Amino acid sequence: MTGRTEAYSPGAHSDGLCPACEQAVVGRPSSLRRRVLFITSEMTDYVKVGGLGEVSAALPRALADAFDVRVLIPGYREVLQSHRELSVIADVPALAGLPACRLGRTRTSDGLFVYVLLSPELYERDGTPYGDRSGDWLDNHIRFGRLSAAAAQIAIGAIDPFWAADLVHANDWPSALTPAYLRWSGARTPSVLTIHNLAYQGLFAREALAQLGVPENAFRVDGVEFYDQLSFLKGGIFYADHVTTVSDTYAREITHPEHGCGLDGLLRQRAAEGRLCGIVNGIDSWDPATDPSLATGFEAGDWTGKQVNKDAIRDAFGLGRTKGPLFSIVSRLVQQKGIDFVLEAADDIADQGGQIVVVGAGEPDIEDAVRAQFAQRPKSLAAFIGYDESLARRLYAGSDFLLMPSRFEPCGLSQMFAQRAGALPIVHQTGGLADTVRDGRTGFQFRSLTVEGLMGAVTRAFRVFNTRSALSKMRLNAMRQDFSWSESAAAYGSLYMRGIGNR
pLDDT in tens, 96-105: 999 999 999 9
Q: What kind and span of H or E run contains 4?
A: strand 3-7
Q: Which of 258, 432, 458, 443 is nearest to 342 (CA)?
A: 458
CATH architecture of 34-74+132-282+486-501: 3-Layer(aba) Sandwich (3.40)
Q: Which tens digits make up the pLDDT trace of 54-95?
A: 999 999 999 999 999 999 999 999 999 998 789 999 999 999
Each residue's pLDDT tens digit, 244-273: 999 999 999 999 999 999 999 999 999 999
Per the DSSP assignment, residues forming a β-bridge with 329 are 358
For residue 50, name the pLDDT band (cuts at 50, 70, 90). confident
What digits encode the pLDDT tens for the residues 218-233? 999 999 999 999 999 9
Mean pLDDT of 446-462: 98
What's the whole-number average pLDDT of the chain?
93
Could you tell me the sign of the dihedral formed by the alpha carbons of 253, 254, 256, 258, in that order? Answer: positive
Q: What CATH architecture is 303-479?
A: 3-Layer(aba) Sandwich (3.40)
pLDDT at 14: 42
Q: Checking phi first, is residue 182 left (phi over 0); if not, alpha (psi -120 to 50) or beta?
A: alpha
Share of the chain above pLDDT 90, in %: 89
Q: Greatest CA span in the chain, whole angstroms?
A: 70
Is residue 1 pLDDT above 70, yes or no? no
Mean pLDDT, to the nearest integer, of 431-442? 98
Strands 113-118 and 131-132 turn out to be unpaired
**pLDDT band (50, 70, 90) for residue 31:** low
CA dihedral angle for residue 22, residue 27, residue 32, residue 35, rounded to 10 degrees: 50
Per-residue pLDDT, 8: 52
The arithmetic mean of pLDDT across residues 145-149, rounded, is 98
**Least confident interval from 9-13, 50-54, 201-205, 465-469:** 9-13
Across the range 28-32, mean pLDDT stands at: 47
Q: Is the pLDDT of residue 15 over 80?
A: no
- Provide the pLDDT for residue 21: 40
* 423: nearest Cα among 385, 464, 452, 373: 464
Instruction: List pLDDT tens digits, range 301-317.
Output: 999 999 999 999 999 99
DSSP label of 423: P
Q: For residue 7, what pLDDT band results from cuts at 50, 70 and 90?
A: low
pLDDT at 13 over 90: no
Q: What is the pLDDT of residue 23?
A: 41
Delimit the domains of the chain by residue range: 34-74+132-282+486-501, 303-479
Average pLDDT (238-244) is 98
Q: What is the pLDDT of residues 465-490, one digit of tens each?
A: 999 999 999 999 999 999 999 999 99
- Interval 275-288: pLDDT, tens: 999 999 999 879 99
Q: Kindly tell me if the per-residue pLDDT of 32 is higher than 90.
A: no
